[in-house]
Amino acid sequence: MKASLGAFIAATALCATSVAYADTTLTIATVNNGDMVRMQGLTDDFTSKNPGITVKWVTLEENVLRQRVTTDIATKGGQFDILTIGTYEVPIWAKKGWLVPLDKLGSDYDVDDLMPKIRAALSVNGTLFAAPFYAESSMVMYRKDLIAKAGLTMPDSPTWDFIANAARKMTDKSAEVYGICLRGKAGWGENMAFLTAMSNSFGARWFDEKWQPQFNSPEWKKTLEFYVSLMKDAGPPGASSNGFNENLALFDAGKCGMWIDATVAASFVTNPKDSKVADQVGFALAPNTGLGKNANWLWAWSLAVPAGSQKVDAAEKFVSWATSKAYLALVASKEGWANVPPGTRTSLYQNADYLKAAPFAKMTLDSINSADPDHPTVKPVPYVGVQYAAIPEFQGIGTAVGQQFSAALSGDKSIDDALAAAQTATEREMERAGYYKK
């Protein structure tokens, strides 16, 4: 009896070790965006091609996810094997040595097919630290019927003056139609993503070459004055609490003439299941003021492997699978070309089937190509990033400045006061962080 019990225990232990060796479980942290949810649904394709690897998903709201994975990676907690992060985090985290360089993605991965701008944004000194899953820029979405009614034709690359004029003409407040819907809700990823991109087109910048904040410059004043007066004349009421979702709801309900926001919105507003105006939407490049910069941003949700992971090989296999050309073809075969994650691979934009299925494809490509994270604005800057500056302090500063600008939009503060407060707050934070001494 004793012997058989011993044998049983030994057999169980042996079994347990062999199972533990053969089975690798990858824990993947990701955001709740349509393309990511689709990827979760297609996990079986990966696990069937890679027996022995199972996948667990942790899906969280973007801001919760950012806090969660930042805590984990900064403390080397090792809870996740793959992280979904954006172009803002990648350069900061890679420099800290928190990410595994992705140089073993397989011979058929075709890394040169990645869009050059996106690849650059996810690389440090030429080494790729995160693989882009989908990329987005921002552009003008407009109602063809309303602009025709206003007697105007939208050019492919409109100026801000054209946009402002069109917005005022399209506005019919008695019918609750507003010429333009723009972000107003405070936050570094909310109104500041839009306003920073807008300010680039007006020639403004966050910092000069010596890291001095520039909110006292005439360019910022011009940007903010233009934005506030346009929104007063042609924006929806209560715009200072509108973010992406609120504007999407307004646009889908037919209450906005134009909306300047993420290119990913194109698939929502043209989907008749969600949008009342699906067949009336046109697209144009984000506006400019003739200074050579358009008001569009650049962002790529990307997959990265934390340096603390014990399962780097399996994790790299997954990253390679999810960001490969074959994955795009897989999504197309299951859900149609219009649902393929956009913006990451050059070959996708040479695919006739995709161009036919996605009417917004060309504008997305042009928008991504016209954003330059290394030279975001007219004057030189010491930071990388179009709608943000890729420094750890930016989240805090961006949100503080965003609150000032949101107050200027709602009329609680004058434009001059908001700019002065933004300048003081940013100076204080940058000095404290040691970028310069007074």
Partner 1 sequence: MARATSRTRIAVSTAAAWIVGLAIFFPILWMVLASFKTELDAFAIPPKFLFFDWTLENYGVVQKRSDYVLHAYNSIVIAGGATLIALLIAIPAAWAMAFAPTKRTRGTLLWMLSTKMMPPVGVLVPMYLFFRDVGLLDTRAGLIGVLCLGNLPIVIWMLFTYFKEVPKDILEAARMDGATLAKELIFVLAPMSVPGIASTLLLNFILAWNEAFWTLNLSSADAAPLTVFIASYSSPEGLFWAKLSAASTLAIAPILVLGWLSQRQLVRGLTFGAVK
88, amino acid identity: Y
- Interacting residues with partner 1 between 30 and 49 (CB under 8 A): 31-34, 37, 40-41
Is 7 near partner 1 (CB under 8 A)? no
Strands 127-128 and 131-143: unpaired
The only residue of 117, 119, 205, 255 in contact with partner 1, by rule CB under 8 A: 255
- Interacting residues with partner 1 between 10 and 29 (CB under 8 A): 27, 29
Q: Compute the least distance from the CB of residue 26 to partner 1, in Å.
A: 10
CA distances from 373 to 89, 124, 389 (A): 13, 13, 9
Is 253 near partner 1 (CB under 8 A)? yes
Q: Compute the least distance from the CB of residue 52 to partner 1, in Å.
A: 18
Count of residues interacting with partner 1 (CB under 8 A): 48
The only residue of 210, 273, 432, 438 in contact with partner 1, by rule CB under 8 A: 273
- Interacting residues with partner 1 between 274 and 303 (CB under 8 A): 274-276
Is 174 near partner 1 (CB under 8 A)? no
Q: Compute the least distance from the CB of residue 393 to partner 1, in Å.
A: 18
- Interacting residues with partner 1 between 359 and 418 (CB under 8 A): none
How many other CB atoms sit within 10 Å of the CB of residue 292?
12
Is 316 near partner 1 (CB under 8 A)? no
Q: Compute the least distance from the CB of residue 434 to partner 1, in Å.
A: 21
Is 252 near partner 1 (CB under 8 A)? yes
Q: Compute the least distance from the CB of residue 20 to partner 1, in Å.
A: 16
The Cα angle at residue 327 between residues 324 and 332, in degrees rounded to 5: 140
Is 56 near partner 1 (CB under 8 A)? yes
78, amino acid identity: G
| Nearest residue to 158 via CA among 55, 300, 258 | 258
46, amino acid identity: F
The only residue of 42, 47, 50, 72 in contact with partner 1, by rule CB under 8 A: 72
Q: Dihedral sign, CA of 159, 161, 165, 170?
A: positive
- Interacting residues with partner 1 between 75 and 104 (CB under 8 A): 75-80
Which pair of structure tokens corresponds to residue 60?
């969280």
Is 245 near partner 1 (CB under 8 A)? yes
Q: Compute the least distance from the CB of residue 50 to partner 1, in Å.
A: 19
* DSSP codes, 206-230: SB-TT--B-TTSHHHHHHHHHHHHH
CA distances from 103 to 77, 204, 312 (A): 24, 37, 12
Question: Whose Cβ is closer to partner 1: residue 54's or residue 157's?
Answer: 54
| Nearest residue to 291 via CA among 201, 398, 417 | 201
Q: How far apart are CA 83 and CA 58, in angstroms?
A: 10
Question: Whose Cβ is closer to partner 1: residue 59's or residue 410's?
Answer: 59
Q: How far apart are CA 180 and CA 256, in angstroms?
A: 6
φ, ψ at 104 (rounded to 5°): -125, 55
Q: Compute the least distance from the CB of residue 153 to partner 1, in Å.
A: 29
Estimate the share of the chain in helix, then strand, then coil, as percent rounded to the nearest 5. Answer: 50, 15, 35
Question: Whose Cβ is closer to partner 1: residue 219's or residue 261's?
Answer: 261
Q: Compute the least distance from the CB of residue 56 to partner 1, in Å.
A: 4
Q: How far apart are CA 122 and CA 98, in angstroms?
A: 14
What residues form DSSP beta bridges with 114? 345
The only residue of 133, 178, 207, 268 in contact with partner 1, by rule CB under 8 A: 268
Q: Taking a C-beta distance cutoff of 8 angstroms, is the pair 235, 180 a contact?
A: yes
The only residue of 91, 243, 257, 398 in contact with partner 1, by rule CB under 8 A: 243
The only residue of 133, 134, 244, 259 in contact with partner 1, by rule CB under 8 A: 244
Q: Compute the least distance from the CB of residue 252 to partner 1, in Å.
A: 7
Q: Compute the least distance from the CB of residue 374 to partner 1, in Å.
A: 25
φ, ψ at 265 (rounded to 5°): -65, -25
Question: Whose Cβ is closer to partner 1: residue 98's or residue 226's?
Answer: 98
Q: Compute the least distance from the CB of residue 59 to partner 1, in Å.
A: 4
Q: Taking a C-beta distance cutoff of 8 angstroms, is the pair 304, 129 a contact?
A: yes
Is 60 near partner 1 (CB under 8 A)? yes
335, amino acid identity: E
Q: How many CA atoms lie less than 13 Å away from 420 in the CB half-sphere?
A: 5
Question: Whose Cβ is closer to partner 1: residue 32's or residue 153's?
Answer: 32
* Interface positions with partner 1 (CB under 8 A): 27, 29, 31-34, 37, 40-41, 56-64, 67-68, 71-72, 74-80, 189-190, 243-245, 248-250, 252-253, 255, 262, 264-265, 268, 273-276
